[in-house]
Every structure is written in C-alpha cells, then in structure tokens.
Amino acid sequence: MITATPPAPLPHAPYAPLAPAPPVRSARPEDAAALAELSQPFVRSGALRERPASLYATHAADFLVTQGRPGGPLDGCAGLRVHPAGLGEGGRGAVGVLYNFCVAGQRQGHGVGGALLRAVLAVARARSLGALYTATTGGGGLFLRYGFAPTTALLAPASWAESLDPRRDARILAKVL
C-alpha cells in the first residue's frame, strides 16, 4: 500500500461570480456614429483601418454590437462579411471574414469580446459558412482561445486578402466551422 500526504490547499481569492455575458444585438444604421466612435481609439493605435460613419451605416447589417445600457455607448462591435466561394478556392462553400472587432477600453476583460465572438460564431454556423477568417495586429489571444489558428493569405478569400495592408503586418487567423 502506498500512502501519501495530500498537498496543502492552495490559497485562492474569495469566490466572485462571473458577470453575466452582455447582450449582443444586430447593429442598425442609426448605430453608425457610435460604431465609428467606438472604433476611433483602435484606428489611432493602428489596430483598425479608418472607416467613415457612412460605411458603418451602409454595412450595419454586418455588425453585432454590445451595449451596457439602452441609449449608452457601445461596449463592443464585430463585423461579419460573407464571401461566396470563388473560382480556384478548392470548391469550398461560402466563408466569413470577421472585421472591425473591438471592445471599449473600460469594458475589456469583462466578457464583452467573448460574448461578441460567440455570437459571431453562432451567426456564421447558422449561415452554414465553412470557415471564418480574421486579421489581427495584436496577439490574437481571444481568437486562439476560440479555436482560430494562424493561416496564410493564400487560403483566405482572395478579395479580402488582397485588401490587407502589408505595412500593418497583420496575422491572418482562421477557424474551420
């Protein structure tokens, strides 16, 4: 018989329940100014491309947003654009590109990004997309935790990959759905 003394319990922080995931909704054209405002700090840092408010209004249907309180500022947003299968793309079906993913500085670390990413993945699956692509100038930790993996521009939708600015040195990540 082998006996061992159990290890001493590790000290831990008092139990703190996780905050509920923030609600995610589809953006509306009237959210355009708020989307542009939310994105500005990321544009200034070089993490996002600058887009005019008119583009956000035109493509509002691409976006999912979180908003802590009705009428308050947006806490986060993510765009999802569908790319139909193109010639020479191995016969795969439509894929999605996740773009303009951002979370307000004061809301980072509070589950907003995870809630947005889970919602985008649910929409992509509901649309029967074969894969989801994104480009990030950061570490991409959130994407990696949700099963994205580094890939090359050669596997991404050609029109999107060709639009990437090589000076930004973005990493391309993909998730097969």
- Is it the case that residue 88 has pLDDT exceeding 60? no
Specify the pLDDT at position 22.
79
Residue 17, number of CB atoms within 10 A of its CB: 5
What pLDDT does 91 receive? 54
pLDDT recorded at residue 135 = 96
Q: Give the domain 24-176 fold.
A: Aminopeptidase (3.40.630)
Average pLDDT over residues 166-175: 92
Q: What is the pTM of this model?
A: 0.83
The pLDDT mean for the chain works out to 87
At residue 39 the predicted structure's pLDDT band, cuts being 50, 70 and 90, is: very high
Whole-number percent of the chain with pLDDT over 90: 72
More reliable by pLDDT, 88 or 102? 102
Quick one: pLDDT at residue 19? 62
The whole-number pLDDT of residue 69 equals 83
Each residue's pLDDT tens digit, 70-80: 888 999 999 99
| Residue 136, token pair as written in the block | 């990030």
What token pair was written down for 37? Answer: 């405002």
Query: What average pLDDT score do residues 123-134 get?
Result: 96
